[in-house]
Amino acid sequence: MLATNDDGIDAPGLKRLVREIHERGHEVYVVAPKNPQSGMGKSMRMRAEYGEADYPWARKAWWVDSTPASAVYLALHHLLSEKPDVIVSGINRGPNIGLEDLFTSGTVGAAIEGALNGIPSLAVSLATDKGLTEDEYSPAAWAAAELLQHLRSLRPGMLVNLNVPEKPRGVMATRLAWNNYKLRLVGVGGRFEPASHSFRDRYWDTVEGSDVWAVLNGYISLTVIDLEAVRRSSVDLKVAEEILEKIRGRLESRIRVQPRSSSEASV
């Protein structure tokens, strides 16, 4: 099992997670960014220094001076002697809910990298504005450890996004909220800063059944994201064809259109 995060290898959330996994008898390796990499999404940076880390409860650990997704890539293709059966990313300080966080979160980005490599992956976050001590992550660590043993049933290309309130009142299967950020910013000394630092001010799409609604109402949110469904979306292909038909003639008049080969036609 591989553990990583986006808050950096010394973050208390990762330490609490690895300890929980170890105490349940699982062998866990850690490959995580050297420093915090929040908001990096699925970005990759291949030129990276790395080194071994002395990490409690881990079979072996490395720090990587790069992004969370790059840490997973380097773990799978260079640092580990064999691919892990499961990847867990977290525990993030603060929630990762809604479409905006899906594309922005380094925690989720690391899980996406794992899923793209065919490995069942979990992103786990604690919905908190605190998160300074390991003990604060105990509910999320426990929930993640319970879920890990069931990830192997996921189809290739799937990942789970788990968000845990500080004091859960239940658990819900959820969909992603729309939720693009609508934070109010203020200018301070030549730079912009959020007017509020409460995570609750980032989320507005609170339709019941969404991950945002669940977390804001005290429920653990479990969202399954299927990358294969995104890749095979026939609706998107149909829309693309409709757009292309409107501009095909003008485009092809400006480029040299090569006839398709017989091998291309049979694909």
pLDDT tens, residue by residue, 166-183 = 999 999 999 999 977 777
Q: Per residue in 72-125, pLDDT tens? A: 999 999 999 999 999 999 999 999 999 999 999 999 999 999 999 999 999 999
Phi, psi of 244 (to 5 degrees): -65, -35
Residues 6+ apart with CB under 8 A from 72: 2, 4, 31, 87, 89, 110, 113, 114, 117
Q: What is the mean pLDDT of the chain?
A: 91
pLDDT value, residue 265: 55
Cα 220 to Cα 45: distance, rounded to the nearest angstrom:
32
Cα 168 to Cα 95: distance, rounded to the nearest angstrom:
13
Q: Per residue in 122-162, pLDDT tens? A: 999 999 988 789 999 999 999 999 999 899 889 999 999 99
Residues 6+ apart with CB under 8 A from 79: 31, 50, 62
